[in-house]
Amino acid sequence: MLKIDPEFADQIPPLTEEEFQQLEANILSDGEVINPIIIWNGVIVDGHNRFRILEQHPEIPYRTFEKKFSDRSEVVAWICKNQLGRRNLTPEQRKYLIGKQYGAEKQGPFRGNQYTLSCESGCSQNGNNQKTCEKVARENHVSKNYVIRANHYADGVDAAEDVVPGTRHEILSGKICPVDSAVQAVAQAPPEEREAFANHLRDPEVQRRGRKRPESDEDRIMRKIADDMDDPGGQVSGSSMLATLHGVTATMIRGCNRCFEMFPSLLTESAYREQVIAIMQEPKTYIITLETGGVPE
């Protein structure tokens, strides 16, 4: 009899109802579960959704494949990498899985939930963590800093789930979208305060969607110019427009650098790099037009 380990099952991003129904329809149409269910010592490692369907249709034949792992942390790391490699994931799900992969791989032998400890240690804590962080970053085409942030994020999600069951599903399914800092704060809070912090994740003020972005210097300049243009007696000076232009350019550069930081392979992998250069041809052409005395359209 196959067994489900809650911790292993929790690493699997939830299917939508439509996705689950489609999977069930495919299995019933095929008359069997084509892909084997991966197990370790009789515990399901991959195939939890297929097993749920099999429980409702015990007549459907299936196969299992026993995979060897040295300990539970290796199982968790494998599950995360497997999901990252084959699923269409939301940003939250991807971040959670990367954080869990790093957390599992840096632990070595399984020592239970470590979210209270990881907040006290970063990727540069020691040489082993540094190498593990670099490995996870390289495998997932992200920066090392992203891996560290993802680890803290995953710790916060798990800490919230421990004190308010169901929170993990709400976050990873997109039902609630709290900002990362609020999620991380749950794991960092004293044990007696974590429930309050977890419940705070549902507060509209910490939701990512619909949150008003703080007004930047560029925003204030643009608003001032718009106000002046709407005012018949107002005047827009060349210096204010130059300041606005500087702000717009700086914002574009920061945005590009942010993309390269989050996804370094944009610059290191030839296929991505070619697309980056192609995208940059438009602003390049714009600048050449200015330099040659033309007026951009």
- What interhelical angle do 91-107 and 72-86 show, nearest 10? 150
pLDDT for 114 equals: 44
The whole-number pLDDT of residue 116 equals 40
In angstroms, the CA 219 to CA 182 distance is 26
Task: Please give the pLDDT value at position 124.
Answer: 41
H or E element in which residue 46 lies: strand 43-46
Taking the complete model, does pTM exceed 0.85, yes or no? Answer: no
Mean pLDDT by 10 residues, the chain (297 residues): 88 83 92 92 92 92 93 92 83 93 79 43 57 91 91 95 93 89 91 92 78 52 54 59 76 81 80 86 88 82
Rounded distance between C-alpha atoms, residue 258 and residue 146, angstroms: 11
54: which residues sit within 8 A by CB, 6+ positions away?
33, 60, 62
Instruction: Print burial letters for 31-62: b (CB count within 10 Å at least 16), e (below 16).
Output: eebeeebbbbeebbbbbbbbbebbeeeeeeeb
Contact 98, 133 (CB under 8 A): no
What lies within 8 Å, CB to CB, of 183 at 6+ separation is 153, 156, 157, 160, 171, 201
> Which pLDDT does position 12 carry in this prediction?
86
Beta bridge partners of 161: none
Residue 143 near residue 264 (C-beta atoms within 8 A): yes
* pLDDT for position 44: 94
Q: What is the token pair recorded at 143?
A: 């920066």
CA 86 – CA 81 distance, rounded (Å): 9
Residue of 43, 34, 36, 45 whose CA lies nearest to 11: 45
